[in-house]
Structures are given as C-alpha cells and as structure tokens.
Amino acid sequence: MDRVLDLPGAAHLVLASGVAYLDPEPAAFEAMLEGWALQQRARFLDVEQTIAPRLRLVRRFAEFTNEYPWQWTPLEAEAFIDSLRSRRQGLAVSTGRSYQDALRLFCGYATDGRYGWPARCLDLFGTVPAQILHEWNTVRHTSDYEGSPRRRPLTYDEVQALFDAADGRVEEIRARRRKGALAALRDAVALKTVYAFGLRRQETCCLDLPDLRRNPKAPQYRRLGALFVRYGKASRGGPPKRRTVLTVPEFDWIVEVLEYYLQEVRPAFAPGKHPALWMTERVGRLSLRRLDEAFETAQRLAGLPEELDLHCLRHSYVTHLVEFDYPERFVQEQVGHAYASTTAIYTGVSDDYRTRLVQRALKARHAGLWEVGT
C-alpha cells in the first residue's frame, strides 16, 4: 500500500484520528468529499464551475445507491446512468460522459493510497473503496463534437429576426408604459455584442469599461476598435485566457449601437463608479442567467427553433467570418481557440458560400474556357 503523504485532501488531515464517531459512515463520507474538494482546489480548479457541480453529482449518486463509496460497485454506476437516460429523454452523450468522468475522478481520489482512504476505510468499515468506472462501462470518445446535431449557426435572416424581436420588445414595453424598457434595451445591445465579437457568456458578462480598446489601424472606430477579453475559457486548472477581439468592417455597425448604449442607456442605471459594461437596475453586473433569458425571450418572439441557444451566436460569428473570406488563423485568434480543428467544428457555411467556392475553383482551373463561356 502507498505511503500516506501530507497532501491536500489526505484522510488524516480531514478526518480526525482517535475519535469515536457516533455515526462514522456519514462522517467519513463528508470528510472524503471535503478532502476531494481540497485536492481539486490545490490544482486551481474553479470552485463554482467545476468543483461544486462534481460534489453535487457525487452526493446525488450516493443518494441514488443509498450506499457509501467503500460499498460502491460498477453495477451501481451503470444503473445510475441508465436511470438518467430513462428519466431524461435525449440525455446528451457529452453530459453522460461528464458524469462518468466526475465519478471516476472521485473514485480515483478515494482509492489512491497516498491520500490514506483505503487504509482508513479498511480500519473503520472492513472494506476499501474501488474504482467503479472503467473503459468497458463508460462512454467512448469517438467524435470531436458530440453536441446536438440540431444546434447550428443562425442564418443571416435568423440573426436579423432575433435582433428585430429584441428591439421590438423594447418598443412594446415603452408603448405599454411599463417598467423594464431600459433593461430590455440593454439586453438587445448585449445580444448584438455577443454576435458582433463572437463572445461566450462569461466573456460578455465580465466586460468592463476599460476593456473597450482603440485600434490604431482603425481610428474611425474610436474607443470601440477592439474588445479586450479577460475572462476567456480557461484550460483545466489554469487561469482565464485573455485575447483581444478586433472590430471587423462587416460588423462595424456595432460601434454605433454600443456608442448609443454608453452615452444614453448605461448612465440611466446610475452606475456610479461600477466598472461593468452591462449594468442592472440594482447597480450590479449582468448575470449569466439573465443573458441566457434575454436570448430565450428574443428567440421565442422571433419564432426561432427552440434548440438554438445563446452560444449559437458565437457559432454564427465564426461561420460568417469564414464566409467573408477571413483567413482561418485570424478567425481562430478572434474567438480564442487553441486549435484550428475547434474553429472548424463551429463553422457551418451556407450553400451559397460553397457554391461560390466551387465557381472560384473552376474559374481558376479553366480560366480560358470560363472567359469564353461568360
């Protein structure tokens, strides 16, 4: 058995030795969860987005099995996933894998002799934790993209319909003389900004006024020549990635929209010294949930397919940049992808664009015949 070390999350650091617990099973389980959380924090994993959901899943699995980790077997893991698929029709493959990965990581921690849990459980309960998820009972990763095939980039007409619906909601609220027109106007501008710069939810909500940047090569855009994104998607265990997203001519309509928001709308929230670009009525920062709700409201009013979500605007941005003939590397850097293959997954060019490519290739190969034919 491995020698127990003073690692973050080691059993002897979270479960006191020499103490006679009245109810040792739940005490050991809670200490095990606490230790696993410590181990993950030591790896600089995000508490809210990574650690907390994993802990909730392990608790949920324990409740499903009505057993403790040192009693779990592969049978329970398979029954748990099967029950989720039975209750949730269309459970995404990626979601099922994320659940299996979280449980496998927890079991890996609990069975690692360096953390001391096998010896402690053997001493307290006469049995030890075991790994319950293996290659033969987990989802295989066979494709780069496993999201729903119904999710796709929006067409130009759908983007316009979405924005028209968001703007129309502002006018409707004003016509009825109800509260909320200011927030609806903010939401409409935020949605347009997501599309015009290809932003993620977190990136959008975390924008501050100093993140609005000038581009010396495009002085006509003034303070909106670029956005400095400070809260990009982090690699596992790493800090948020940063990048600068340039305003491109095909999307420069956003300059006028954002200038209006900055001059007329944002000051009406009385933000004081608050730096956030997107303010709320309570002088706080726009939440991720509120941004999602803004999209869903406009989506419903525009009559767009329900499988489309806010992230589809980012897919649309990538697709439309490609159709505007921007270089692949430029598109990749604009959206902050580490690999070109990821950008390719986001791309869903139209039939018209593919037709133009074919015509261009034919013209280049058969230049003389093309000129005669035309």
- Quick check: 248 pLDDT over 70? yes
Count of the separate structural domains present in the chain: 2
Residues 70 and 128 placed together within one structural domain of the fold? yes
| 335 domain residue, yes or no | no
| 344 domain residue, yes or no | no
Residue 370 confidence (pLDDT): 47
- 87 three-state secondary structure: helix
Residues 196 and 121 placed together within one structural domain of the fold? no
Residues 160 and 301 placed together within one structural domain of the fold? yes
262, 279, 311 - which closes a domain: 311
- Quick check: 120 pLDDT over 50? yes
Q: What is the CATH number of the domain that holds 266?
A: 1.10.443.10
| 356 domain residue, yes or no | no
Residue 75: which domain range? 11-137
Residue 314 confidence (pLDDT): 95
Cα 227 from Cα 246, distance rounded (Å): 7
pLDDT tens-digit readout, 73-117: 999 999 999 998 887 666 778 788 899 999 999 999 999 999 999
Residue 87 confidence (pLDDT): 77
Average pLDDT along the chain: 88
Band (235; pLDDT cuts 50, 70, 90):
confident
Residue 86 confidence (pLDDT): 84
| 35 domain residue, yes or no | yes
Residue 332 structure tokens: 């990749």
Residues 165 and 305 placed together within one structural domain of the fold? yes
Lowest mean pLDDT among 110-114, 149-153, 297-301: 149-153
| 178 domain residue, yes or no | yes
Lowest mean pLDDT among 1-10, 93-102, 171-180, 310-319: 1-10
Residues 58 and 178 placed together within one structural domain of the fold? no
Sequence letter at residue 289? R
Helix axes 328-335, 311-323, angle to 10 degrees: 160
Residues 59 and 25 placed together within one structural domain of the fold? yes
Residues 172 and 279 placed together within one structural domain of the fold? yes
268, 286, 311 - which closes a domain: 311
In this prediction the pTM is 0.71
Widest CA span in the chain: 95
| 183 domain residue, yes or no | yes
Q: Residues with Cβ < 8 Å from 133, sequence gap 6 or more?
A: 74, 77, 100, 103, 104, 107
Q: Which residues of 245-267 are buried (b: 16+ CB within 10 A; e: fewer)?
A: bbbbeebeebbebbeebbeebbe
Residue 343 burial class via C-beta count within 10 angstroms: exposed 0-12, middle 13-18, buried 19 and up: buried
Residues 129 and 160 placed together within one structural domain of the fold? no
| 97 domain residue, yes or no | yes
266, 295, 311 - which closes a domain: 311
